[in-house]
Amino acid sequence: MCGIVGYVGNQKVSNLLINGLKRMEYRGYDSAGISVLQDGKIQTIKKSGKVSQLEKLVDHTLYDSTIGIAHTRWATHGEPNDINAHPHHSSDDKISIVHNGIIENYAAIKKNLQEKGYTFRSETDSEVLAVMIQAIYEKVQCLEEAVRFALNEVDGTFGLLVLSSHEPDRIIAARRGSPMVLGIGDGEYIVASDASAIIQHTRQVVYLNDNEMAIIKRDGFETKTIMNEATTTHIQEIEFDLEHIEKAGYEHFMLKEIFEQPETFRDAFRGRLLADKGNVKLGGLTQVQEKLRQAKRIIITACGTSWHSALVGEYIIENLAQIPVEVEYASEFRYRNTPLYPDDIVIAISQSGETADTLAAVYETKQKGATPIGIVNVVGSSIARETEAGIYIHAGPEIGVASTKAFTSQISVLTILALYLGRMRNLSQSDGKRIAAEILEIPDKIRRILNRSDEIKALAKKQAKSRNYLYLGRGYNFPVALEGALKMKEISYIHAEGYPAAEMKHGPIALIDENMPVVIVATKDEIYEKVISNIQEVRARKGKVIAIATEGDENIKDYANHVIYIPSTLPMLTPVLAVIPLQLIAYYTAVELGCNVDQPRNLAKSVTVE
């Protein structure tokens, strides 16, 4: 949520910052801006709209500056116009800041500063940081101290970069609850909220910790806490390659990521699934192995698509390991005083590893003495670092705002986790081997569905004028219905509801008429006949049925208006296959409607505010 980037080095900075913003635009695209230090003064250009709008205004020939900061915004406080765009200046224009996060006590601080005669230009919470740093600087005459004192006054979260003409040789970076990565190049440093803005320049990075700041100059950097205690840095290597954050010939990142799923699903279990033993090795859980063996209850907490994979995980873990599992929206978890006990395991699932609500749930878990475990994609992210143990899903960068490959990779990890927990308990080796053998088949089965994408595209085109969709599924496929509806809503702006198929008759059935497409996951399993009855109920009200069915099921053609076949697999693994056509229907519908698939309105990839 909001992308920020800064550079100190020997290259001209304006072009470099714009390119950095383009890499992070999926984090927010309401407005964009840059500040550079030119001839001893801060020069700022900012504009509502996407980075491309800003780029048109930046004449790179005007600047030979080699130090600057930039921002792409996802608006929280203040509408997305030019004035509210970052960077924000102090009232004397000598300090410029870019900020990701929320300053919760900004109103009180602003009032106090206004009473002292300081002026403000925007409606944002962020601007108070710039003005407060100015006010403190006037007393202490040291930028680092001024930033530190200011940060000790604010409540809330920040990923912050500060540039000042008072001390033109440095950028000060700081974080609390918002990610910040410092890339270490040869005589240059690039600092950003996301490693994707850094990888073009260097693979060597330092992830700042919460409440840590970095003073970055051309000839070196220093880190300390915002309480002024020295900290040690740990240089790490970025794990992905540049090609992972490029479209590789696909029209959109979302489509590329959908098509990556045979590989990403496999990458999530590769080296972990011991198929010949019917077992699983999870190095990231070694230190909590005994706690997992003793666990009487698991709570899985997440948001959005990750919450849907959590629901699939609940069913699989309860089935294979016979441990009671509860799934909680992370946003509810921390505010409803959830009873937690020391032998509870809390699994936080997050693609970004930065979702504020999920991170807050991890803190709450620690506070109450239970054991937090992460299932995360982004290496080094806050949730990965704050949890006691974890499993990376290794899906590679997911750039499309609508999550696709992360969902199937999360299920891949949850399935092997369930197997691991099951084999610690009563699951037999032969059952373990049978499930493992089927997991190995899934990548190829995903590929077979993707090969039929033209058929799904034609269907999506035909249905694109529909203003509502209903998605139904039962058992393992109920969360798939939720996920299919979420995908449709977020990228095509068509209203869609996901529902347990059998619950439909308790209300949503009233919505069904000849204009309502109803997507029903009706794969062959023990509740197949019941789902057929649900289809009949839809048909009786003239609803148009699009069935996701198992290959070879000819019978379903008698009931559905359109059938999309997926290969047969174990019921617990059907969500991974059934979701692929739903991702494609949403994608092709959005394309047909001319929607911006990778950057849907009002959304951002990583939601780092509550």
What are the residue numbers of the active site? 2, 605
Cβ pair 511, 544 in contact under 8 A: no
Is the dihedral angle over the CA atoms 497, 503, 506, 509 positive or is it negative?
positive
Q: Which two tokens stand for residue 135?
A: 């006010």
In the bound state, the residue with its beta carbon closest to ligand M6R is 304
Q: Do strands 170-176 and 212-217 pair parallel, antiparallel, or not at all (unpaired)?
A: antiparallel
Q: Which two tokens stand for residue 467?
A: 């203003």
Least gap, CB of 130 to ligand M6R (angstroms): 29
Nearer to ligand M6R, 167 or 194 (CB): 194
Q: Is the peptide bond before 479 cis (omega within 30 degrees of 0)?
A: no
Q: Which two tokens stand for residue 500?
A: 């347990």
Range 582-596 burial, b when 16+ CB lie within 10 A, else e: bbbbbbbbbbbeebe
Q: Which two tokens stand for residue 457?
A: 């595209």
Least gap, CB of 414 to ligand M6R (angstroms): 13
Nearer to ligand M6R, 267 or 525 (CB): 267
Cβ pair 95, 166 in contact under 8 A: yes
Helix (H) or strand (E) holding 147: helix 143-153
Cβ pair 376, 346 in contact under 8 A: no
Question: How far is residue 37's CA from residue 18's CA, in Å, rounded to a whole number?
Answer: 15
Question: How far is residue 338's CA from residue 439's CA, in Å, rounded to a whole number?
Answer: 34
User: H helices of 181-281, where?
Assistant: 253-259, 261-269
Question: How far is residue 159's CA from residue 196's CA, in Å, rounded to a whole number?
Answer: 16
Least gap, CB of 256 to ligand M6R (angstroms): 15
Residues of this chain that interact with ligand M6R (CB under 6 A) are 303-306, 350-352, 355, 358, 401-403, 486, 490, 603, 606-607
Nearer to ligand M6R, 25 or 188 (CB): 25
Rg (CA), the chain: 25
Q: What is the Cβ-side half-sphere exposure of residue 305, based on CA atoms within 13 angstroms? A: 30
Least gap, CB of 237 to ligand M6R (angstroms): 22
Amino acid sitting at position 410: Q
Question: How far is residue 253's CA from residue 247's CA, in Å, rounded to a whole number?
Answer: 6
Cβ pair 35, 165 in contact under 8 A: no
Question: How far is residue 11's CA from residue 17's CA, in Å, rounded to a whole number?
Answer: 11
Cβ pair 312, 409 in contact under 8 A: no
Residue 21's region, left for phi above 0, alpha for psi from -120 to 50, else beta, is: alpha
Measure CA of the first residue to CA of the last residue in the chain; give whole Å. 11
Q: Which two tokens stand for residue 194?
A: 């996301």
Question: How far is residue 186's CA from residue 168's CA, in Å, rounded to a whole number?
Answer: 20
